[in-house]
């Protein structure tokens, strides 16, 4: 039982910083989207979607980070690993967001085939891509910080930012 609790504690400790980061990033994106749509009289309540999205993305990123192809450039200068991981994670977020749009359209049109046909015409693509640009910047920041912490170490990074204890 104690092994399970230790594993759970370790998982939660790894998940908290990533989740907080993506909660902030997804809520900024959702808030920006709501502000863009407000001028058309469209009210969005996206806090729940942003929170669930952040939780899913954080867990998937932690899982992906353990896969060998994601860490393909871990022995190269940091820029390679940062750009590679940013591209991989960005691709994942594009797929995730398209699935999210499809789920919404399935509930509206009743079937996956019908929703797929309406995906191109009903999604407001400028809003989709502007949000994706913000997420790309957030992912670039996240990957840069993560790789720097991996290289320097968590304790040394804390010292650099907050001073010695």
Taking the model in full, what pTM does it have? 0.79
3-state secondary structure 45-102: CCHHHHHHHHHHHHHHHHHHCCCCCCCCCCCCCHHHHHHHHHHHHHHHHHHHHHHHHH
**How many helices (H) and strands (E) would you count in the chain?**
6, 0
Span 2-30, pLDDT tens digits: 888 888 888 888 889 899 998 998 888 88
Q: Bigger pLDDT: 164 or 80?
A: 80
What mean pLDDT do residues 83-105 have? 88
Q: Which of 20-34, 70-84, 137-151 has the lowest mean pLDDT?
A: 20-34
- Each residue of 38-62: pLDDT tens digit? 777 766 667 787 888 888 888 888 8
Taking the domains of the chain in order of start, what are their residue ranges? 15-162
pLDDT at position 143 over 90: yes
DSSP single-letter state for residue 110: S
Say yes or no to pLDDT of 107 above 80. yes
pLDDT of residue 1: 66
- Token pair recorded at residue 162: 């907050």
Residue located via tokens 């939780």? 55
């Amino acid at each position: 039982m104690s092994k399970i609790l230790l594993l759970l504690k370790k998982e939660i400790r790894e998940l908290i910083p990533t989740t907080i980061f993506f909660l902030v990033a997804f809520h900024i994106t959702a808030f920006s989207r709501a502000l863009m749509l407000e001028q058309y009289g469209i009210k969005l309540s996206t806090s729940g979607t942003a929170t669930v999205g952040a939780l899913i993305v954080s867990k998937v990123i932690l899982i992906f980070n353990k896969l060998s192809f994601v860490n393909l450039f871990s022995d190269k200068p940091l820029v390679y690993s940062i750009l590679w991981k940013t591209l991989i994670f960005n691709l994942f977020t594009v797929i995730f967001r398209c699935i999210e749009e499809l789920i919404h359209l399935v509930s509206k049109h009743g079937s996956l085939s019908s929703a797929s046909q309406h995906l191109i015409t009903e999604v407001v693509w400028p809003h989709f891509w502007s949000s994706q640009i913000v997420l790309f910047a957030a992912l670039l920041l996240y990957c840069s910080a993560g790789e720097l912490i991996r290289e320097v170490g968590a304790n040394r990074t804390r010292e650099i930012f907050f001073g010695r204890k």
